[in-house]
Amino acid sequence: METTLIILKPDAVQRGLMGRIISRFEEKGLQIVGAKMTKISQELAAKHYKDHQGKPFYDGLVKFMTSSPVLVLAVRGVGAITISRNLMGATFGSKAAAGTIRGDFGVSNSFNLIHGSDSPEAAERELGLFFAQGEVQSFDRPGDAWVYDMSGGKAE
C-alpha cells in the first residue's frame, strides 16, 4: 500500500471542480484517508516546491499556489502514486490526454488543477509537510474485497 499527497490547486477550488476531481480517485478504487482545506503560506509553498526553485516558472507557481485556498488530500492504494499521476495526466493542460483530470478540465499549463507526489520519497516528504501526526486515517473498507483480488491473501 502506498499513500500519496494530492493537492486540488486554487483553480480547482475556485472553478467548483473539487467534487468531480475527488470522484475520479474514488471511482478508480483509491481510498481518501486525509482531507484538509488550507491556504498555503509562502514558506510552505517554498518547502513543497524546493526542487523547482530558480526555474523560470517558480515565482508564478508560488504566487498561484498561495493565492487562494487549496484542498489537500492523502490518497491510499496499491500503486497509488503512479495510479494518481496517470489519473492526473501530463503536466500541461494543453497537452494532457483526454480522459485525464488535466486533459478533461483545463487548458492552462500553469493553472493545471492538481498536484500529485511523483515518487515514494516525495510522497513521504510532502505528506509530512501538509498533515500532522494523526491527521491521516487508517480504516478498513469492506468493499476493498471487490476493489482488489485478495485471493492470494493480500491485495494483488
Q: Per residue in 97-106, is it b (16+ CB within 10 Å) or e — as a string?
A: eeebbbbbbb
CA distance 111 to 60: 10
CA distance 116 to 84: 7
**Which residues of 9-150 form beta strands (DSSP E)?**
31-38, 70-77, 114-116
HEC per residue, 15-37: CCCHHHHHHHHHHHCCEEEEEEE
Catalytic residue chosen out of the listed positions 72, 80, 115, 130? 115
Residue closer to ligand IDP (CB basis): 6 or 30: 6
Helix (H, G, I), strand (E, B) or coil at 3: strand
Q: Is 48 in the site for ligand IDP (CB under 6 A)?
A: no
Q: Which of residues 100-139 bind ligand IDP (CB under 6 A)?
A: 109-110, 112, 115, 118
Of 61, 78, 147, 155, the one binding ligand IDP by CB under 6 A: 61
Of 1, 39, 53, 57, the one binding ligand IDP by CB under 6 A: 57
CB of 150 to ligand IDP, least distance (A): 32
Total interface residues for ligand IDP by CB under 6 A: 9
Q: Is 48 a catalytic residue?
A: no
List active site positions: 115
Binding residues for ligand IDP, rule: CB under 6 A, are 52, 57, 61, 91, 109-110, 112, 115, 118
